[in-house]
C-alpha cells in the first residue's frame, strides 16, 4: 500500500491492517489528510525507518505497530506526539535509543515495548499507566522515583538492570505482577513495611502512632526475581504480600534460614521456588502448611535435617484437581482492547526428567517437589505417598537413608522420580511397577539390594541404557543389570521389614504370632475339658484305648499276611 490509497480519506479515524503482512510504502515527506484515533498495523512492513507520517497523528488514542520491521532509533517526537494515547505497542522490532527521562506527562494506560534494543534508565512513569512491558531490552537501571501509583503489571525481565529495586515500588499499592528476572539486580529488596512507617511517622518519637507492617500490605500476586544477584536473608518485603501466589527467587545469593512465617504471610502460595541459593538450616515445618502449593522447589541449597513432618498437609498435591483460576491468564481491559498481562512471553526453567525444561504460563499445571542437592538426612516419609497428584519428585543428591517407602506405588501420577545419590538401602518396592505414567526413573548410587522389580512401565524405561537407572547399587540383581539373582523370581520384596509387605496382606510376624496364639488357645481348651469334666475324660481315654487296640490288631494281621507267622 502507498499514500495513493489514502488520497481523499480526510475523515479517516480508524485503520486496521493488522496481521496481513502488507508492505506499507509511504514517503518520508508525505503529510496525511486525516487525523487518526486508532492505528492497528501489527505484522505489516512499515520499516526499516520509523514512519514519519505518524508524527502528524497527534490525536491518536491507540497505536499498535508490533513486529513491523522497524530498525531505527525511537524518534524524539514519539513521546510528545503520542502523549494523549492510552495504548502504545511498538514491541517486537529493533528500535534503539534511551527512553525519555520523564514520561509523567503522558496519558497512556498500556505501554508495550518488549523485544527491542532500548537502553538507559526506566523513567518516571505517568500516574495513568497500568500495564508496562519493556522486557528483552538493554535497560540498565531505574530512576529513584518511578511514580506510576496505578501500575498493575510491570514486566521487565531479561534486561541489564543493575543496582537495587527503588523504594518507590512500595507505593505501588495496585501492583499485582512484577517480573524482574534475568537482570543484574543485587543487595536486598526494600522492606516496604519499614519504609511506609517512616513516611507515616518520620520523627519516630510518638509510640502511639506506631503502625504495624501488616497495615501496608501489597497486592502482588506474581513476583519473579530469578537469575539476579540478590543477597541477604529471606526478603522481609514478602511479609507485606498476603496475596502472593507465585514466588520465584531461584539463582540468587540469598542466605540464612527460612522463616516460620511463610505460610502465615503468604497463605495462598501456589509456587515457591528457591532453587540455587545459599539458604541453610532445617526446612521449617510451617512450609507444610502451604495447602495450595503445587510447585515446591528448594533444590541446590544447604538445607539439612530431615524432610519435614506433615508433608501430607500439602493438600493441593494430594489431589488431581486442575480446575482453578490461572493468574497467568489474566487480562487487562483498556479503552480499545484487552491485553493478556500474565506470562505470555515468560519462560521458567524447571529441572525435570533429568533435564532442564522450559515452561510458560502452563507451569501452573506442573505439580512437583524438588529437594535435591541439599544435605537432608533421615528417611523418606511414608506419608509422601499421599501426594497422589505429584507429577515430579526429586530427592536426589542428599544423605537420605532407610528404605524406599513400600507404598510409593500410590503416586500414580508421577512421571519423573529421582532418588539417586543418597544412602537408601533395602530392596526396591515392587509397587514401583504401578506407576504407569512413569517416564523417568533414577535410583542410581545408593545401597539398594535384591531383585530389581519388573512389569508395566519399568520394562520400557530408558530402552537404550536401562541399567543406568540402577548403576552404583552393587547389591542389585536381575534384569537389566548384569548380576543374576539366585533362585526363582519371588513376590514383592520385604527387605526384612514387615511394613514393606502389601497393605492388604499379613506380614510374616503377624502370621506367626496368630498361629502361636491359636495353637495355645486350642490346646488349653482341650486340656480344660479333660481336666474338669470327668465324663469327657473317661470317654477320651476310652477312645484312645479302643484306637490303640484296633491299630495293634490291624498291624499284626497285615504282618502275618505278607511275611507269615513269626518264628
427-441 residue pLDDT tens: 999 999 999 899 999
37 to each of 16, 54, 62, 87, 534, how far by Cα in Å?
A: 11, 12, 7, 11, 116
**pLDDT band for position 548 (50/70/90)?**
confident
Q: How many residues appear in the chain?
A: 567
Count CA within 13 A, CB hemisphere, residue 546.
6
pLDDT at residue 204 in the model: 43
CA distance 459 to 473: 19
pLDDT at residue 238 in the model: 93
CA distance 58 to 32: 12
Residue with cell 530431615: 306
**pLDDT band for position 564 (50/70/90)?**
low
Average pLDDT over the chain reads 84
pLDDT at residue 501 in the model: 43
At residue 262, the 3 state secondary structure works out as: helix
C-alpha cell belonging to residue 61: 488514542
Would the pLDDT of 190 be above 80?
yes
C-alpha cell belonging to residue 158: 531479561
Would the pLDDT of 297 be above 50?
yes
Region 360-389: mean pLDDT is 90
What is the CA 526 to chain-centroid distance, rounded?
A: 66
CA distance 283 to 483: 39
Ramachandran angles phi, psi of 16, nearest 5° = -135, 105
Would the pLDDT of 322 be above 70?
no
Beta carbons within 8 Å of 474's beta carbon, 6+ residues apart: 483
- CB contact at 8 A, 276 and 251: yes
pLDDT at residue 502 in the model: 43
pLDDT at residue 235 in the model: 93
pLDDT tens per residue across span 45-102? 998 999 999 999 988 999 999 999 999 999 999 999 999 999 999 999 999 999 988 8
Residue with cell 526494600: 190
Lowest mean pLDDT among 105-114, 230-239, 361-370, 382-391: 361-370
pLDDT tens per residue across span 202-213? 444 343 333 344
pLDDT at residue 454 in the model: 86
pLDDT tens per residue across span 484-527? 988 766 554 444 444 444 444 444 566 667 777 777 667 666 66
- DSSP annotation of 485: P
357's enclosing H/E stretch is strand 355-359
**pLDDT band for position 21 (50/70/90)?**
confident
pLDDT at residue 227 in the model: 94
With a pLDDT cut of 70, the percent of the chain lying above it is 81
Lowest mean pLDDT among 143-147, 191-195, 317-321, 424-428: 191-195
At residue 122, the 3 state secondary structure works out as: strand
pLDDT tens per residue across span 447-487? 999 999 988 788 888 878 889 999 999 999 998 998 998 87
Q: In terms of pLDDT, which residue wins out, 38 or 215?
A: 38
pLDDT tens per residue across span 227-251? 999 999 999 999 999 999 999 999 9
pLDDT at residue 335 in the model: 56
pLDDT at residue 517 in the model: 76
Region 181-194: mean pLDDT is 87
Ramachandran angles phi, psi of 530, nearest 5° = -75, -30
Q: Catalogue the E-assigned strands of 180-328.
A: 184-187, 222-224, 229-230, 246-248, 255-256, 271-273, 278-282, 295-297, 302-306
pLDDT at residue 122 in the model: 94
Q: In terms of pLDDT, which residue wins out, 546 or 488?
A: 546
CA distance 431 to 35: 72
Q: In terms of pLDDT, which residue wins out, 463 or 277?
A: 277
Region 302-313: mean pLDDT is 93
pLDDT at residue 212 in the model: 41
Would the pLDDT of 257 be above 80?
yes
Beta carbons within 8 Å of 528's beta carbon, 6+ residues apart: none
Region 165-185: mean pLDDT is 93
Region 247-256: mean pLDDT is 95
Residue with cell 545459599: 278
Q: Which of 324, 303, 300, 322 is nearest to 258 (CA)?
A: 303
Residue with cell 534494543: 117
- CB contact at 8 A, 31 and 53: yes
**pLDDT band for position 271 (50/70/90)?**
very high
CA distance 239 to 300: 24
pLDDT at residue 103 in the model: 92
Which range among 341-355, 410-424, 535-549 has the greatest average pLDDT?
A: 410-424
**pLDDT band for position 329 (50/70/90)?**
low
pLDDT at residue 505 in the model: 43
Beta carbons within 8 Å of 236's beta carbon, 6+ residues apart: 189, 191, 193, 194
pLDDT at residue 5 in the model: 87
CA distance 496 to 215: 57
Query: How far is the first Cα of the chain from the last one, in angstroms, to the nearest whole number?
Result: 135
519's enclosing H/E stretch is helix 508-532
Ramachandran angles phi, psi of 450, nearest 5° = 90, -170
CA distance 379 to 311: 13
pLDDT at residue 531 in the model: 60
User: Nearest-5° angle of CA 115, CA 121, CA 122?
Assistant: 70
Region 350-363: mean pLDDT is 73
**pLDDT band for position 554 (50/70/90)?**
confident
Amino acid at each position: 500500500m502507498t499514500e495513493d490509497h489514502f488520497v481523499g480519506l480526510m475523515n479517516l479515524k480508524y485503520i486496521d491492517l493488522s496481521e496481513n503482512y502488507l508492505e506499507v510504502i509511504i514517503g518520508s515527506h508525505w503529510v496525511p489528510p486525516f487525523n487518526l484515533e486508532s492505528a492497528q498495523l501489527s505484522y505489516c512492513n512499515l520499516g526499516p525507518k520509523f514512519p514519519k507520517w505518524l508524527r502528524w497523528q497527534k490525536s491518536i488514542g491507540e497505536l499498535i505497530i508490533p513486529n513491523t520491521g522497524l530498525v531505527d532509533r525511537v524518534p524524539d517526537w514519539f513521546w510528545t506526539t503520542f502523549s494523549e494515547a492510552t495504548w502504545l505497542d511498538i514491541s517486537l522490532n529493533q528500535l534503539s535509543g534511551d527512553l525519555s527521562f520523564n514520561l509523567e506527562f503522558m496519558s497512556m494506560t498500556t505501554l508495550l515495548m518488549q523485544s527491542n534494543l532500548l537502553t538507559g534508565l526506566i523513567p518516571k512513569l505517568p500516574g495513568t499507566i497500568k500495564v508496562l512491558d519493556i522486557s528483552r531490552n538493554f535497560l540498565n537501571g531505574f530512576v529513584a522515583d518511578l511514580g506510576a501509583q496505578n501500575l498493575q503489571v510491570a514486566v521487565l525481565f531479561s534486561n541489564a538492570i543493575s543496582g537495587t529495586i527503588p523504594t518507590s515500588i512500595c507505593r505501588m499499592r495496585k501492583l499485582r505482577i512484577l517480573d524482574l528476572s534475568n537482570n543484574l539486580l543485587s543487595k536486598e529488596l526494600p522492606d516496604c513495611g519499614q519504609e511506609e512507617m517512616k513516611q507515616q511517622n518520620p520523627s519516630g518519637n510518638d509510640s502511639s502512632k506506631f503502625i504495624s507492617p501488616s497495615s501496608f500490605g501489597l497486592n502482588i500476586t506474581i513476583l519473579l526475581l530469578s537469575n539476579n544477584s540478590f543477597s541477604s536473608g529471606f526478603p522481609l518485603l514478602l511479609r507485606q504480600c498476603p496475596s502472593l501466589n507465585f514466588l520465584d527467587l531461584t539463582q540468587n545469593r540469598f542466605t540464612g534460614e527460612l522463616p516460620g512465617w511463610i505460610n502465615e504471610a503468604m497463605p495462598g502460595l501456589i509456587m515457591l521456588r528457591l532453587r540455587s541459593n545459599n539458604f541453610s538450616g532445617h526446612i521449617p515445618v510451617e512450609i507444610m502448611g502451604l495447602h495450595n502449593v503445587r510447585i515446591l522447589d528448594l533444590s541446590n541449597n544447604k538445607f539439612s535435617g530431615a524432610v519435614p513432618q506433615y508433608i501430607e498437609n500439602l493438600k493441593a498435591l494430594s489431589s488431581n484437581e486442575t480446575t482453578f483460576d490461572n493468574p497467568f491468564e489474566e487480562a487487562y481491559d483498556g479503552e480499545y482492547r484487552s491485553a493478556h498481562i500474565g506470562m505470555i512471553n515468560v519462560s521458567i526453567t524447571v529441572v525435570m526428567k533429568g533435564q532442564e525444561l522450559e515452561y510458560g504460563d502452563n507451569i501452573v499445571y506442573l505439580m512437583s517437589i524438588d529437594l535435591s542437592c541439599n544435605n537432608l538426612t533421615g528417611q523418606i516419609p511414608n506419608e509422601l505417598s499421599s501426594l497422589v497428584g505429584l507429577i515430579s519428585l526429586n530427592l536426589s543428591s542428599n544423605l537420605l537413608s532407610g528404605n524406599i517407602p513400600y507404598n510409593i506405588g500410590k503416586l500414580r501420577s508421577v512421571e519423573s522420580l529421582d532418588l539417586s545419590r543418597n544412602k537408601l538401602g533395602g530392596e526396591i518396592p515392587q509397587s514401583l511397577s504401578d506407576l504407569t505414567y512413569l517416564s523417568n526413573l533414577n535410583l542410581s548410587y545408593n545401597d539398594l539390594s535384591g531383585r530389581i522389580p519388573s512389569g508395566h512401565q519399568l520394562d520400557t524405561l530408558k530402552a537404550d541404557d536401562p541399567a543406568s537407572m540402577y548403576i552404583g547399587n552393587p547389591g542389585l540383581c536381575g534384569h537389566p543389570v548384569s548380576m543374576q539373582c539366585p533362585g526363582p523370581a519371588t513376590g514383592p520384596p520385604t527387605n526384612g521389614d514387615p511394613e514393606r509387605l502389601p497393605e492388604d496382606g499379613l506380614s510374616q510376624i503377624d502370621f506367626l504370632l496368630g498361629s502361636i496364639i491359636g495353637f495355645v488357645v486350642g490346646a488349653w481348651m482341650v486340656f480344660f475339658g479333660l481336666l474338669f469334666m470327668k465324663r469327657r475324660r473317661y470317654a477320651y481315654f476310652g477312645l484312645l484305648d479302643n484306637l490303640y487296640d484296633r491299630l495293634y490288631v490291624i498291624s499284626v494281621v497285615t504282618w502275618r499276611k505278607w511275611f507269615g507267622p513269626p518264628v
